[in-house]
Amino acid sequence: MSKRSILHMFDPMPNNSPFDINMALDTGFDILMPYNNVKLESVHGLTQDTIFSRSPAGIKRTGIFIGGRDLGLALDMMNSAKQAMVPPFEVSILADPSGAFTTAAALVACVEKELKTKHDKQLKDCKALVFGGTGPVGIATGVIASLAGATTALVDHMSLDTATDAAKEYNRRCHSNLTGAKAGSDQEKALLIEDADIIFCTAKAGIQVLSSEVLAQAKQLKVAGDVNAVPPAGIAGIQANDNGVILDQPKNAIGIGALAIGNIKYKLQHKLLKLILENETPVYLDFRDAFIKAQELV
């Protein structure tokens, strides 16, 4: 009798994400086992209960998904789970807290594609700003862009200290080279974007971060990507379905909207879950793997 596939879903939040549950079920897992309010110190024991309760055949049909909203905690939980493995009792792990790793990977990959095809540039040639940069998607976007070579700043709308602290923490964790910046007023935003090549907008849904008047000051802008699907757009002039559309201003800048990015994010999360479900050997997947696979998808 073939073993049924099981995905154990560890989440430090009070509730597991319905989005992740739907995605995992649609990927083909037979059984989903959500765990909420999971503490970091509990992950080792939960993982060993997961691996030692099945035969080698069952182990290949077993995986762990790590959610939540805190990127650092998700990485720590993933590391704890990896340390709990006892070969040959090993299962695959995917970390995607708040969908941040897959969303950020899709965003950066989409921007990277347009940068190459429309401007013959690479990320390493560019200065990038991440508005909403201290949220989960913003931090993940910044880390991915920085590791790909872009000179990248996390932009917070209220506090330079908050942005700088986030940059320092994730530089330590991920070996990126982020800086922090503050832009609360239109004047601060205009000054900040003057020499930016890339703008990533990962701010809260339904909030316009950059008006058309401010955006006009981005004289060197090449590509802008906005993950906000709720009107108004985070970046004026970018529609949700835009995918490589030339913006009205600044001249020759390219816009990518939330639904175009979301399409890649959806395919990406499905692809990563499939790897857990179907891979014969264990895989441990985080934002690095998500970006590699996103580059393949675009």
Whether residue 108 sits in one domain with residue 94 = no
Q: Using 50, 70 and 90 to split pLDDT, how confident is the model at 1?
A: low
Q: Is the pLDDT of residue 247 over 60?
A: yes
**pLDDT tens digit string along 158-213?**
999 999 999 999 999 999 999 999 999 999 999 999 999 999 999 998 999 999 99
Whether residue 130 sits in one domain with residue 244 = yes
**pLDDT tens digit string along 254-268?**
999 999 999 999 999
Whether residue 248 sits in one domain with residue 127 = yes
CA 76/CA 83 separation, integer angstroms: 11
CA 222/CA 198 separation, integer angstroms: 6
- Cα 40 to Cα 77, 79, 210: the distances in Å are 6, 10, 38
Q: Is the pLDDT of residue 103 over 70?
A: yes
Q: What is the per-residue pLDDT for 259? A: 97
Q: Is the pLDDT of residue 281 over 80?
A: yes
Whether residue 42 sits in one domain with residue 154 = no
Q: Is the pLDDT of residue 275 over 80?
A: yes
**Residue 187 region by backbone torsions, left for phi larger than 0, else alpha for psi between -120 and 50, else beta:** alpha
Whether residue 149 sits in one domain with residue 226 = yes
Q: What is the per-residue pLDDT for 169? A: 98
Q: What is the per-residue pLDDT for 57? A: 83
Tell me what percent of the residues of the chain surpass a pLDDT of 90.
94
Q: Is the pLDDT of residue 271 over 80?
A: yes
Whether residue 175 sits in one domain with residue 244 = yes
Whether residue 226 sits in one domain with residue 91 = no
Q: Are 293 and 272 in contact (CB under 8 A)?
A: yes
32 lies in a domain?
Answer: yes
Whether residue 111 sits in one domain with residue 59 = no
Q: What is the per-residue pLDDT for 134? A: 97
Find the domain containing 49 and state its range.
Answer: 6-99+264-297
Whether residue 56 sits in one domain with residue 15 = yes
Burial of 54 (0-12, 13-18, 19+ CB in 10 A): middle
Residue with tokens 């908050």: 162
Whether residue 257 sits in one domain with residue 123 = yes
DSSP label at residue 89: B
Q: Using 50, 70 and 90 to split pLDDT, how confident is the model at 19?
A: very high
Whether residue 144 sits in one domain with residue 79 = no
Q: Is the pLDDT of residue 151 over 70?
A: yes
Please tell me the total count of domains within the chain. 2
Q: What is the per-residue pLDDT for 248? A: 87
**pLDDT tens digit string along 52-96?**
999 888 899 999 999 999 999 999 999 999 999 999 999 999 999
271 lies in a domain?
Answer: yes
> Average pLDDT of the chain?
96
1 lies in a domain?
Answer: no
59 lies in a domain?
Answer: yes
Whether residue 228 sits in one domain with residue 161 = yes
Q: What is the per-residue pLDDT for 58? A: 87
178 lies in a domain?
Answer: yes
Residue 185 corresponds to which amino acid?
Answer: S
**pLDDT tens digit string along 41-61?**
999 999 999 999 998 888 999
Q: What is the per-residue pLDDT for 10? A: 98
CATH number for the domain harbouring residue 173? 3.40.50.720
Q: Are 270 and 252 in contact (CB under 8 A)?
A: no
Q: Is the pLDDT of residue 133 over 80?
A: yes
Question: Where is 174: in which H helix or E strand?
Answer: helix 160-174
Mean pLDDT of 10-36: 97
